[in-house]
Amino acid sequence: MRDTSFGSSFSIKSFVVYILIGFTLFFVDRYNTKYFSFFRQSINDAIVYSIIIIKSPFYGVNYLIKSSQKLFDESIQIKEIDKIKIELESQKKLNLVLEKQLEDLKKIVGQERYIYQSSIAKVISYKNNIYTNSIILSKGSSQNVQVGDPVVFKNNLVGKIVEVNSFSSRALLITSRQSRIPVRIGDQKYNAILTGSNDKKNNLDLVFLPKEYKLNNGDILYTQSIEGTLPDGILVGTLVIDSKENFYIDSSFDFNQLDLVTILHLQKKKE
Amino acid sequence: MFKRKILPIILLLLVIIVSSQKISFINNTLSYYVNLQLVLIFLFVISDENINFNRGLSLFILAIVNDSLNGLFFGSSVIIFFIIYGLANYQKNIKVRTIFLSEWIMFSVSLTISYVVFILIQYLSNNNIFYKTLLINYVFTVLIYPMFWIIFHKLIYKNN
């Protein structure tokens, strides 16, 4: 005989108990009590590092396939050389951009210059779904990572740390619709807010642009420090205007292909 | 044993942890369009009478893993997963034989309820709610259900 209308294997009582536990956990976590925060961080770290172990065979197989391909296929090696050449070219361009940025920064009157300490972190997981658009990194508070620290890749802004555990952290990507990054655009130095968008190419959009503006192809976007939330002058991307006169932002890398990124620690050290 | 105890947990765990891969022609990830976790939970429960995720305990742990990886407050996924799980159990119990249409309607209803609860959770979490994103995800998740129904009923659990 079945005990309830939910079937032999699962009763209404169990259903209510799990839902109640869910709500209790939610409210306890939501109001961030000191003891639960430690508990949450420990669970997060345990899950993140378990995932590395679970994923390791897949990485191993992937590595083996790639290595064997490289061994037998000369064309791949040639492609690799071509790739390095392209990368070298892009680095040269990047140097020009950085020089320009440096000039602009020097023009900022009364601005203090800071040196930021940085550390390299591995991207453990990339998530883009209805819940979030973020990456999980292998560095946490034990490596001085703090909430608000910017994350960069090849000198381009990737996102911002939003959650820190002891040995891992989460960065909200700039392509997330929750993200708001103050930016300065091109020679005209327009101020705007960069936000994620699912409708735009590369998932990036600009809001709060001045009433009258004229954007040019190739304009460079870089961060703007408002109340010290982000350092000034981190490269965000390049503006591209397509044949239909619509603009999109080219960030020169794919967010779901990130492997190693740099975290800039905002604990400032005056130069 | 494998199909009833291990396969549901492994498949669901893989869907939760595997990185979202971008699909170039749709300019987004598949997980942005389809909530595969909820489809799998519903179909596993409805396809085999003996699947109960260790009386819900495995599903509870998987929900915590999902919360942790997506940066949600703990308990958020527990509520959403168990709404789907509970309603799938109810549907499994009232049916005499497998009728695709009634199961599809029940899936749509349970998905609607879980998304309404998700909106409430987002509101309580002080997060912005993107209704358009949710609507797109809802529509595609409902639309993809028949494809997975065929895979489950005709391939994996064809003897049930």
pLDDT of amino acid A210: 83
Residue A49 sits at the chain B interface (C-beta within 8 Å): no
- What mean pLDDT is reported for chain B? 87
Q: Is A223 left (phi over 0), alpha (psi -120 to 50) or beta?
A: beta
Query: Per DSSP, what are the bridge partners of residue A184?
Result: A191, A222
- Which of A1, A131, A164, A257 is best to mutate for the B interface (most B CBs within 10 A)? A131
Residue A268 has pLDDT above 70, yes or no: no
User: Does the pTM exceed 0.80?
Assistant: yes
**B13 contacts in A (CB within 8 Å)?**
54
Q: What is the pLDDT of residues B81-112, one digit of tens each?
A: 999 999 999 988 887 777 889 999 999 999 99
Residue A254 sits at the chain B interface (C-beta within 8 Å): yes
Pair type for strands A180-185 and A220-223: antiparallel
- Which of A3, A20, A54, A127 is best to mutate for the B interface (most B CBs within 10 A)? A127
**Shortest Cα distance from B125 to chain A (angstroms)?**
7
Residue A190 has pLDDT above 60, yes or no: yes
- Residue A151 in 3-state DSSP? strand
Q: What is the pLDDT of residues A147-167, one digit of tens each?
A: 989 999 888 899 999 999 999
- The whole-angstrom separation of Cα A230 and Cα A34 is 27
Residue A93 has pLDDT above 90, yes or no: no
Looking at chain A from residue 50 to 109, which residues have their Cβ under 8 Å from any Cβ of chain B? 51, 54-55
Residue with tokens 């536990």: A21
Q: Given pLDDT bands bounded at 50, 70 and 90, which one contains residue A3? A: very low
- The whole-angstrom separation of Cα A182 and Cα A187 is 16
Residue A79 has pLDDT above 50, yes or no: yes
Residue A214 sits at the chain B interface (C-beta within 8 Å): no
Per-residue pLDDT 10s for chain B (160 aa) are 666 778 889 999 988 887 666 555 566 778 888 899 999 999 999 988 788 888 889 999 999 999 999 889 999 999 999 999 999 999 888 877 778 899 999 999 999 999 999 999 999 988 888 898 899 999 999 999 999 999 988 877 775 5
Q: In whole angstroms, how far apart are CA B80 and each of A10, A36, B57, B66?
A: 17, 22, 15, 11
Q: Given pLDDT bands bounded at 50, 70 and 90, which one contains residue A243? A: confident
E strand segments, chain B: 22-23, 28-29
Taking CA–CA distances from B25, the nearest residue in chain A reads A201
pLDDT of amino acid A113: 53
Q: Specify the DSSP element, H or E, that contains A245.
A: none
Token pair in block for residue A35: 């003891």
**Shortest Cα distance from A96 to chain B (angstroms)?**
30
**Residues A234/A244, Cβ–Cβ less than 8 Å:** no
**Shortest Cα distance from B74 to chain A (angstroms)?**
5
**Shortest Cα distance from B53 to chain A (angstroms)?**
9
State the complex-level ipTM: 0.89
Residue A18 sits at the chain B interface (C-beta within 8 Å): yes
Number of Cβ within a 10 Å radius of residue A138: 19
Query: Per DSSP, what are the bridge partners of residue A126?
Result: A135
